[in-house]
Chain A
């Protein structure tokens, strides 16, 4: 939730940030194709996705990273800025052609407090039981 600002002085290393679940459907991927300019067919064409060995259409890795980014900025609150953000895409988010789609569950911990009001977060993202983001880390400067 944006609006719940975190105070640097009160942040404690090791603190856990509760999981947030973000839903997505095929429509999300179509919109993300258009907004990002990434029209790779594996994100919208089930026939070709399966032909190239994928279980189904998969989400853009950057869509998952964007959900993790939202998790960070919502936690940090208004006025914070992200200084560094890195992820490894460890498994695909498979998005079936139905009304339910898929979910990405993001959670995190405060890894350490740095100087200059900066905080390092470790993030985890899962979808359908699989870890979809690994070594996900953000450094955010709190206001």
Chain B
């Protein structure tokens, strides 16, 4: 079933505040297998010119996906998550995330289109501090494969 195109333009509520922690940054860096000390060691990070430990660039997905999930799980869209694969991802950063950042995310559905057995939905999620500072915009395209589809991205 194609994703319901009536939802284009819908903006979902701002998420609850998320506080970035050292422990979560380290856990994420461990999970992606990246041993870079700037994700773990405040002194190494300061020596590199950052104010403190920073998060890896793709850490922003932890925050944006929790917000995008609110859209993906919207029953009116009719998305079967097991049939969903990630199509495209883009981040635009004002600065790296770091420990102590308290941020919110807000997701808008930018586009929905269907071709053959595939449906694609593009969302943009703005991540800002609770003081309103822009940190990152995450643009995601999710692809829902039709039941009879071959292959996947």
The answer to whether A and B interact is yes
Task: Enumerate chain A interface residues (CB-CB to B < 8 A).
Answer: 2, 22, 24, 28, 31-32, 34-38, 40-42, 48, 52-54, 58, 60-63, 65-67, 69-70, 72-74, 78-79, 81-92, 143
| A65-B58, A66-B56 given; A73·B31 CB < 8 A | no
A58 near B152 with CB under 8 A, answer yes
Q: How many residues of B contact A (CB 8 A)?
A: 45
Measured between beta carbons, the chain B residues less than 8 angstroms from A84 are 90-93
| A2-B37, A2-B38, A60-B86 given; A34·B31 CB < 8 A | yes
Instruction: From the candidates B31, B84, B95, name the one contacting A28 in the complex (CB within 8 A).
Output: B31
A35 near B28 with CB under 8 A, answer yes
| A53-B149, A81-B95, A89-B85 given; A37·B65 CB < 8 A | yes
Taking the nearest CB of chain B, how far is it from the CB of A43, in angstroms?
Answer: 10
B153 near A92 with CB under 8 A, answer yes
Instruction: Give the one of B35, B88, B95 with max A CB within 10 A.
Output: B88
CA of A52 to CA of B32, assembled, Å: 26
B38 near A70 with CB under 8 A, answer no
Measured between beta carbons, the chain A residues less than 8 angstroms from B1 are none
Instruction: From the candidates A65, A74, A87, A88, name the one contacting B36 in the complex (CB within 8 A).
Output: A74
Look across to chain B and name the residue whose beta carbon is closest to the beta carbon of A38.
Answer: B65
B90 near A52 with CB under 8 A, answer no
Instruction: From the candidates A61, A81, A85, name the one contacting B86 in the complex (CB within 8 A).
Output: A61
Measured between beta carbons, the chain A residues less than 8 angstroms from B50 are 79
* B62 contacts A by Cβ under 8 Å: yes
Measured between beta carbons, the chain A residues less than 8 angstroms from B145 are 52-53
